[in-house]
């Protein structure tokens, strides 16, 4: 048999879908709320490398689902766009002088073409790129709303700096102390930055995770990242000075064991606390710490370092003077940047105290510990809970209770209070690069920072001669005098524009809202459109965005919700992570490993339909799947077989009862499995069914039509062609999904298996309505079974109608 002409068929139907704008969708009020679906893919960064296997997997999942929903009478919004700001295009510009906008357009055109070549249907009327000024005008607008709510502020805290990308990085973009993008070790740099106050939403970002249907690992990662911990803020007086030091601790019950304090080298009071004798050592340590990269401060510093400031604090519970040290094991950016050290009960403090010979006092004993073991200096650190010792009047109190009691006591004295701390840091939002949204702010000598009037948006990126980042913490925009110099919107005096740009994440924070109403000139999206579609019913993408995009987008969405601009407090109702497609070597695909797969090759070789079905046949969508083309053969054979069915005569004859039952069982299984996105088992069932139909010389329409319809989400080009051959003028996209009759899914006669002591000994056929007694009688009559029952006592008989009979025997 000749291979079916997939190239011709696929081209033909893609042209037709394009011409028909097959997936254009409107806010048709005729569809009730529960018959509307917003299905979203994580939109791609249009890289020069084109679509990769992961994109194809992602978009196949949603395309199949959308086509299935549409055939089941849903109004389905399935949009596509491009997340096109970012470094690759800019780096290419630096190398070649090509404007990033030009590169972006070429790449976007290529992506769109590749997406269409897979038969994926999107409402292309809604397409946009985050780099379109019509789009980023609204990104800037949302930024202004954040600014006006006090959620954007300037800071000159030391930040993560990538010396290779020459830009600041958000915490989320630093992986193991390296730049997530180029793997250069990150250093710290103190430059003026714009920061978004995401921590103001930490509690809601955490608690609202309970409202969404997301994979548990993603929720866990977000919870982890937000890192809520409850404890106490405690105030320590400084001996002989008016300064007070505040610390955060989750173990206020160990206060009596606090034998010294440690400040981060960046702590504001360090220079004042350094005594003349210690000043040189302290200054040197602070300078050295500032030079260290994050990697050096964490990975390499198993061995603790630190310097005594010369000053002492006073422990508020016992009035003892305790030395104040500085060390880079204390992070400036968490809590108050200072800790009380309890070496007996904290591993890190223990290591530090041992190294510098600081006193160690045990204040928690394991419950039930004998007195002898508590004598003398502890020999090891004990960080578990227990009961208080050496803690004055509180001795004997269990840890949990003591925490509450001491916190209340401190509060009464004005020396402390209950406190909650988050690991989550505010979001470093400015980049010292060219290819991003300019921040719509000016710096006026008289008025300070002034937001641009909304009417002046978009603030467009100016043309530049050189895209090269200066590396000094200024973006290339700073060199364009004609752009930078402006007038203050408030006083009209001279002012300079903000030259930082936004990070790539900005554009993806709200793109799902723009798809609702992409050409709106007066709002980021009209309220009617938001109400019609939101929230997103299904969001599919890779797990790599668990704490970046997905956290940022939730944050922006909540701000918009608080402003009354969206109708829900969470944007994505249900999230599905497709499993990574690995290289044939089981490793992540990457250019450097040379194990990447180019979808175009397979489209040319076996066709888009075969590639779609194959990727979904590899296994469950969430599972990691190593790429192996071995299985492709089976899928191609299946599609060939379906194509060959199209050559058989189709009749209106009544079908064979057995086949009719198989047909209805197949429709049921494929419907259920497609609806739940268990595509692999749906495909397997269609394989079984098509193999049966292939044995017939002529196809009864009643058996054949449903197969073609079920094929439509999976192999849409082939299904269209077969549908047309059946005499239909309308696209199968609009056709109604086949129905099944539950009565026809049941066989009249079922095979019942017989076990003796749980071991399979035979089977027999019985009518579906046979009673328990009859089943037992029939079971006993099976020769093999009778043999195993002979001469033994039957203690118990379990009969599961339609399934099995189990004899429990003795002797």
Partner RNA sequence: GCCGGCAUGGUGGAAUGGCAGACACGGCAGACUCAAAAUCUGCUGUCCGCAAGGAUGUGUGGGUUCAAGUCCCACUGCCGGCACCA
- List, in order, residues 6 or more apart from 126 with CB less than 8 Å away: 79, 80, 81, 515, 518
Q: How far apart are CA 142 and CA 154, in angstroms?
A: 17
Return the residues of window 236-255 that contact RNA according to CB under 7 A: 248-251
Describe the crossing of helices 608-617 and 53-71 by its angle, rounded to 10 degrees.
Answer: 90
Pick from 93, 88, 84: which is nearest to 467 by CA? 93
Q: How far is the CB of 641 from RNA (least distance, A)?
A: 6
Nearer to RNA by Cβ, of 264 and 461: the residue is 264
595 binds RNA, rule: CB under 7 A: no
Q: Looking up tokens 């880079």, which residue turns up?
A: 328
Query: What is the per-residue burial (b if ≥16 Cβ within 10 Å, else e) of 607-630?
Result: bbbbbbbbbbbbeebeeebebeee
DSSP conformation class of 398: B
Q: Which stretch binds RNA (CB under 7 A): 63-71, 85-93, 634-642, 696-704?
A: 634-642
Q: How far apart are CA 415 and CA 735, in angstroms?
A: 72
648 binds RNA, rule: CB under 7 A: no
Interior CA angle at 373 toward 371 and 379, to 5°? 145
Q: Can you tell me which of 49, 288, 760, 786 binds RNA, judged by CB under 7 A?
A: 760
301 binds RNA, rule: CB under 7 A: yes
Q: How far is the CB of 216 from RNA (least distance, A)?
A: 5
Nearer to RNA by Cβ, of 184 and 680: the residue is 680
Q: Are 434 and 464 in contact (CB under 8 A)?
A: yes
Q: Can you tell me which of 1, 30, 291, 736 binds RNA, judged by CB under 7 A?
A: 1
Q: How far is the CB of 780 from RNA (least distance, A)?
A: 16
Tell me the site size for RNA, rule CB under 7 A: 82
158 binds RNA, rule: CB under 7 A: no
Residue 146, CB half-sphere, CA atoms under 13 Å: how many?
30
Q: Can you tell me which of 310, 631, 675, 801 binds RNA, judged by CB under 7 A?
A: 631
Q: Can you tell me which of 164, 176, 207, 472 binds RNA, judged by CB under 7 A?
A: 176
796 binds RNA, rule: CB under 7 A: yes
- List, in order, residues 6 or more apart from 566 with CB less than 8 Å away: 513, 530, 534, 557, 560
For 560, phi then psi, to 5°, come to -65, -35
50 binds RNA, rule: CB under 7 A: no
Q: Which stretch binds RNA (CB under 7 A): 18-26, 503-511, 630-638, 723-731?
A: 630-638
Q: Can you tell me which of 95, 375, 521, 759 binds RNA, judged by CB under 7 A?
A: 759
184 binds RNA, rule: CB under 7 A: no
Q: Are 713 and 71 in contact (CB under 8 A)?
A: yes
633 binds RNA, rule: CB under 7 A: yes
Count other Cβ atoms within 10 Å, centred on residue 745. Answer: 16
503 binds RNA, rule: CB under 7 A: no
Return the residues of window 392-451 that contact RNA according to CB under 7 A: 421, 423
Q: How far is the CB of 746 from RNA (least distance, A)?
A: 14
Q: How far apart are CA 367 and CA 525, in angstroms?
A: 61
Classify strands 625-626 and 581-582 as parallel, antiparallel or unpaired.
Answer: parallel
Q: How far apart are CA 771 and CA 773, in angstroms?
A: 6
Q: Can you tell me which of 13, 225, 256, 435 binds RNA, judged by CB under 7 A?
A: 225
Helix (H) or strand (E) holding 237: strand 228-238
593 binds RNA, rule: CB under 7 A: no
Nearer to RNA by Cβ, of 142 and 428: the residue is 428
Count other Cβ atoms within 10 Å, centred on residue 527. Answer: 14
Return the residues of window 684-713 that contact RNA according to CB under 7 A: 684, 687-688, 691, 694-695
Helix (H) or strand (E) holding 773: helix 772-781
Count other Cβ atoms within 10 Å, centred on residue 474. Answer: 15
Q: How far is the CB of 684 from RNA (least distance, A)?
A: 4
Nearer to RNA by Cβ, of 173 and 724: the residue is 173
297 binds RNA, rule: CB under 7 A: yes
Return the residues of window 733-752 that contact RNA according to CB under 7 A: 751
Nearer to RNA by Cβ, of 709 and 754: the residue is 754
Return the residues of window 599-628 that contact RNA according to CB under 7 A: 617-620, 623-626, 628
Return the residues of window 315-374 that contact RNA according to CB under 7 A: 328-331, 334-335, 337, 339, 346, 348, 351
What separation in angstroms does the CA of 568 have from each of 249, 251, 526, 565, 573? 36, 38, 15, 9, 10
Count other Cβ atoms within 10 Å, centred on residue 243. Answer: 14
Count other Cβ atoms within 10 Å, centred on residue 183. Answer: 12
Nearer to RNA by Cβ, of 520 and 684: the residue is 684
DSSP conformation class of 775: H
Q: Are 692 and 659 in contact (CB under 8 A)?
A: yes
Site string for RNA, 201-220 (x = CB under 7 A): ---------------xx--x
Q: Which stretch binds RNA (CB under 7 A): 311-319, 429-437, 531-539, 758-766?
A: 758-766
Interior CA angle at 455 toward 450 and 456, to 5°? 65
Nearer to RNA by Cβ, of 59 and 614: the residue is 614
638 binds RNA, rule: CB under 7 A: yes
Q: How far is the CB of 761 from RNA (least distance, A)?
A: 7
Return the residues of window 649-688 that contact RNA according to CB under 7 A: 678, 680-681, 683-684, 687-688
758 binds RNA, rule: CB under 7 A: yes
Return the residues of window 763-782 that contact RNA according to CB under 7 A: 763
């Amino acid at each position: 048999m000749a291979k079916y002409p997939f190239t011709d068929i696929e081209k033909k139907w893609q042209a037709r879908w394009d011409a028909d704008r097959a997936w254009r969708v409107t806010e048709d009020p005729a569809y009730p709320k529960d018959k509307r679906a917003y299905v979203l893919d994580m939109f791609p960064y249009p890289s020069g490398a084109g679509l990769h296997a992961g994109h194809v997997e992602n978009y196949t999942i949603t395309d199949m689902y959308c086509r299935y929903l549409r055939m089941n009478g849903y109004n389905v919004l399935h949009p596509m766009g491009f997340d096109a700001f970012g470094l690759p295009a800019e780096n290419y510009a630096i190398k070649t002088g090509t404007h990033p906008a030009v590169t972006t357009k070429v790449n976007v055109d290529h992506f769109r073409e590749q997406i269409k070549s897979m038969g994926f249907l999107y409402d292309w009327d809604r397409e946009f790129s985050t780099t379109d000024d019509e789009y980023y005008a609204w990104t800037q607008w949302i930024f202004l709303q954040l600014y006006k709510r006090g959620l954007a502020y300037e800071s000159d805290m030391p930040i993560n700096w990538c010396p290779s990308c020459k830009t600041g990085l958000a915490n989320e973009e630093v992986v193991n102390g390296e730049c997530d993008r180029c793997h250069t070790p990150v250093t710290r740099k103190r430059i003026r930055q714009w920061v978004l106050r995401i921590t103001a939403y930490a509690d809601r970002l955490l608690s609202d995770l309970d409202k969404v249907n997301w994979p548990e690992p993603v929720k866990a990662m977000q919870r982890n990242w937000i890192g809520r911990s409850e404890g106490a803020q405690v105030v320590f007086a400084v001996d002989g000075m008016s300064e007070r030091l505040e610390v955060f601790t989750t173990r206020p019950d160990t206060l009596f064991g606090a034998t010294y304090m440690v400040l981060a080298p960046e702590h504001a009071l360090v220079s004042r606390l350094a005594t003349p004798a210690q000043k040189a050592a302290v200054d040197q340590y602070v300078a050295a710490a500032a030079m260290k990269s994050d990697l050096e401060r964490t990975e390499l510093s198993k061995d603790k370092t630190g310097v005594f400031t010369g000053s002492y604090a006073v422990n508020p519970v016992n009035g003892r003077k305790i030395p104040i040290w500085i060390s880079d094991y204390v992070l400036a950016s968490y809590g108050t940047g200072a800790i009380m050290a309890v070496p007996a009960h904290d591993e890190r403090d223990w290591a530090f105290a041992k190294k510098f010979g600081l006193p160690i006092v045990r204040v928690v004993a394991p419950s039930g510990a004998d007195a002898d073991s508590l004598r003398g200096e502890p020999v090891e650190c004990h960080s578990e809970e227990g009961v208080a010792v050496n803690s004055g009047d509180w001795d004997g109190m269990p840890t949990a209770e003591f925490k509450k009691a001491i916190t209340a006591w401190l509060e009464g004295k004005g020396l402390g209070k209950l406190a909650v701390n988050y690991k989550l840091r505010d979001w470093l939002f400015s980049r010292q690069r060219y290819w991003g949204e300019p921040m719509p702010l000016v710096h006026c000598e008289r008025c300070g920072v002034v937001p641009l009037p909304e009417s002046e948006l978009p603030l467009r990126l100016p043309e530049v001669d050189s895209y090269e980042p200066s590396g000094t913490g200024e973006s290339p925009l700073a060199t364009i005098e004609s752009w930078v110099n402006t007038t203050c919107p408030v006083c009209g005096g001279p002012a300079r524009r903000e030259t930082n740009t936004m990070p790539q994440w900005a554009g993806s924070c709200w793109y799902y809202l723009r798809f609702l109403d992409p050409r709106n000139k007066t709002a980021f999206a009209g309220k009617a459109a938001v109400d019609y579609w939101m929230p997103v019913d299904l969001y599919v993408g890779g797990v790599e965005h668990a704490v970046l995009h997905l956290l940022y987008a939730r944050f922006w969405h909540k701000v918009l919700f608080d402003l009354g601009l969206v109708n829900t407090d969470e944007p994505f109702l249900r999230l599905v992570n497709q499993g990574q497609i690995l290289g044939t070597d089981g490793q992540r695909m990457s250019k450097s490993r040379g194990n990447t797969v180019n979808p175009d090759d397979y489209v040319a070789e076996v066709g888009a339909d075969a590639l779609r079905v194959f990727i979904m046949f590899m296994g469950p969508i969430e599972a990691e799947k190593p790429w192996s083309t071995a299985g492709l053969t089976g899928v191609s054979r299946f599609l060939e077989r379906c194509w060959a069915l199209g050559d058989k005569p189709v009749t209106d004859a009544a079908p064979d009862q057995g086949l009719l039952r198989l047909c209805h069982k197949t429709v049921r299984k494929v419907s259920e499995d497609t609806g739940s996105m268990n595509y692999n088992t749906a495909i397997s069932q269609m394989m079984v069914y098509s193999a049966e139909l292939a044995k017939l010389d002529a196809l009864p329409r009643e058996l054949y039509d449903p197969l073609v319809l079920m094929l439509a989400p999976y192999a849409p080009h082939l299904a269209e062609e077969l549908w047309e051959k059946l005499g239909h003028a309308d696209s199968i996209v609009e056709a109604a999904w086949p129905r099944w009759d539950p009565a026809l899914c049941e066989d009249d006669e079922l095979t019942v298996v017989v076990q003796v002591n749980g071991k399979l000994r035979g089977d027999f056929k019985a009518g579906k309505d046979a009673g328990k007694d009859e089943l037992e009688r029939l079971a006993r009559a099976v020769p093999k079974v009778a043999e195993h029952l002979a001469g033994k006592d039957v203690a118990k008989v379990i009969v599961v109608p339609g399934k099995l009979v189990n004899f429990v025997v003795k002797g």
